[in-house]
Amino acid sequence: MIEPIDESQCQQVLERTEYYIAQAEEVLERPFERIPVLFDLSGTTAGMFRAQGRQREIRFNPWIFAKYWRVNLEGTVPHEVAHYIVHEIHGLGKVRPHGEEWQALMHFFGAAPEVTFKADLEGIPQRRQRTHPYRCDCRQHQVSTTRHNRILRGTGTYLCRYCNGRLVYNVC
């Protein structure tokens, strides 16, 4: 099992985050608030910028950083800072997440504007999502909690790929 990054490495990530925010301030000639940087992300995602209301934060996966230190320091950190800066300039939902504004900032940072990288995640703790029983006209299905919640909220409907029937929660 991989051990998460240590305090010294967390400090390096924080310094690199500050470096990219300062670079953005210089080129865009405006200040940006310093937001929380957390090392609490788990699963298969190396980093995430999250905005909920006025709360904004950057989260990193300390296990993936430990396994792929250089790639994440040079790619994931500027990737998430670029999301934060683009959000501050354009707001949520106004531009594509990996659109030209984000890509231009990544180029300025000297980082590859790639969306994800494929890596072997063996030894990294994985989240396990619960599944929920659904049915269609031809068979039973197991739907992830994410999709189940979308169905409950009315923001998602799912069809069987075999019979094209709508998936319905299987209460029994």
Q: How far, rounded to the nearest angstrom, does the alpha carbon of residue 117 sit from its chain's CA centroid?
A: 12
Q: Is 80 a catalytic residue?
A: yes
CA angle 81-68-101, nearest 5°? 25
Sheet of 37-38: strand order equals: 37-38, 55-60, 47-52
Q: By the 8 A CB rule, do 57 and 36 touch?
A: yes
Cα–Cα distance measured from residue 18 to residue 77, given in angstroms and rounded to the nearest whole number? 10
- Rg value, the chain, Cα: 20
Block residue for tokens 């659904």: 134
Marked catalytic residue, from 29, 80, 101, 122 = 80
For 129, phi then psi, to 5°, come to -85, 140
Catalytic residue list: 80
